[in-house]
Structure 1
Amino acid sequence: MTIFEVDMSQREYQKQFSVWISKDHYRRLKELTAKPGITLTTILERMIDTYQPEPEPISEKCYAALLKIVGDLESRIAALEQQSSQNLYQSNSIIDSPIPSDRAALAALVRERREQGLSFKQIADGLNDRGWTPDKIPGKTGNRVDASPAWTEKTLSQLLNRVKPS
């Protein structure tokens, strides 16, 4: 007894095979193929297309290579963390300098810290932490009423553009 009709015109492109399945699965296949447009071939092809085989275990050589990469990354991260903490220390060392007496002295201090590798953000944070806000540093005519309440990357950049090195 044949449950599924076979289109013999496709024989050169297709192969026939037999498989044993449980009665429940057999019943389910019959139900699925009873729907219009669904054939056993369609079901099997979709199953095969979506099947993901179990990955093979990695070789010892591959595992060793991965461990080496992880070790290299860990050492690079440690070096970056150390450099970051050194930069933070340098940023906090702005306090070692006397409070600049004017904007030219402050610009010179900022340029010096930039040459040491500090970012504008680190310098701004260091200045603000010390209370050296823009309104505290006298300009040509004293304190500015419109001065920013805190240093930012933008205000430091503007300071360096406005106050040229002497």
Structure 2
Amino acid sequence: MKSKPKTCELDPVPTCLVKEHIDLLLPLLCQIIHKSLSNGIFPAEFRCAIVKPILKKSTLNPDVLKHYRPVSNLGFLSKIIEKCVLTRLNEHISKNHLENPLQSAYKLYNSMETALLKITNDIYRSIDAQKCVFLILLGLSAAFDTLDINDLLETLRVEVGLRDTVYS
């Protein structure tokens, strides 16, 4: 019910209608989600997305293709299954104390602002202790493009402990 009421062109029924009749649809939705998670299969129908190009900044030239980024609009049930997986994975990470204490992104109550506050605090503390301070910044405009899927899978297997159906 916390999901945004946005409907994708791929949705057979408008999201607002699903939410309005959730009491009738919930058993079926739960069955679909449970089957997907227990079998380790994200149904092919839910892997489809409507991809639309969005201009990165309004000041950029709209005639240049590289000034656009693709935005994938997923169906409502796809988002719900993803949210279930995210919730379970976060619970596993939290329960097993696998959090990286320095991570700010994708973490509740953490943001770029909290990361900058920590860095600023570390710099001030080092200066107060009369230590030399070096700050090297690296900006990656397409950070996710630098991600190696094999490294990610290895991290999920070794450090997070995903096994069997979940890992597959």
Bucket of the pairwise TM-score, normalised by the shorter protein: under 0.3
Greater fraction of residues in strand: 2
Give TM-score, length-normalised by structure 2. 0.22
Greater fraction of residues in helix: 1
Give TM-score, length-normalised by structure 1. 0.22
